[in-house]
Amino acid sequence: MSAPDEPMREAREPAAIPAASDADATSARPSWATFKAALDARGFHPSRRFGQNFLLDENMVRAIVRDAGVGPGDFVLEVGAGCGFLSLQLLHAGVDLTAVEVDLRLAEVVTELLGAHPRFRLIRGDVLESKHTLAAAVVAALPRTGPWHLVSNLPYSVAGPVLVNASELENPPRSMTVLVQHEVALRLAAAPGSDDWGPLSIRLQLDYAPERTRSVPPGLFWPRPQVDSSVVRLVQRAERWPEGERRAVSRLVDGLFQRRRQTLLRVLSDLAGDRERAQAWLARTGLDPRARAEDLDLASLRALVAAGAGSLGS
User: Tell me: the pLDDT tens digits for 76-111?
Assistant: 999 999 999 999 999 999 999 999 999 999 999 999
Question: What is the torsion angle, in degrees rounded to the nearest 10, for the CA atoms of residue 199, residue 203, residue 208 and residue 211?
Answer: -20
Quick check: 15 pLDDT over 60? no
Quick check: 168 pLDDT over 50? yes
Confidence of residue 311 (pLDDT cuts 50, 70, 90): low
Confidence of residue 9 (pLDDT cuts 50, 70, 90): very low
Exposed, middle or buried: residue 192 (CB in 10 Å: 0-12, 13-18, 19+)?
Answer: middle
Confidence of residue 308 (pLDDT cuts 50, 70, 90): confident
Q: Where are the domains of the chain?
A: 22-236, 243-307
Quick check: 4 pLDDT over 80? no
Q: What is the pLDDT of residue 27?
A: 58
Q: What is the CATH architecture of 22-236? A: 3-Layer(aba) Sandwich (3.40)
Quick check: 224 pLDDT over 90? yes
Cα 302 versus chain centre, distance: 25
H helix or E strand, kind and range, residue 141:
helix 136-141
Q: Which CATH number fits domain 243-307: 1.10.8.100, 3.40.50.150, 1.25.40.10, 1.10.3720.10?
A: 1.10.8.100
Mean pLDDT along residues 160-166:
97
Q: What is the pLDDT of residue 156?
A: 85
Considering only CA atoms, which of 96, 109, 124 is closest in space to residue 44? 109
d(CA 161, CA 240): 19
Quick check: 22 pLDDT over 80? no
Question: What is the torsion angle, in degrees rounded to the nearest 10, for the CA atoms of residue 227, residue 230, residue 236 and residue 237?
Answer: -100
Considering only CA atoms, which of 120, 110, 124, 95 is closest in space to residue 44? 110
Quick check: 6 pLDDT over 80? no
Quick check: 123 pLDDT over 70? yes
H helix or E strand, kind and range, residue 202:
helix 199-205
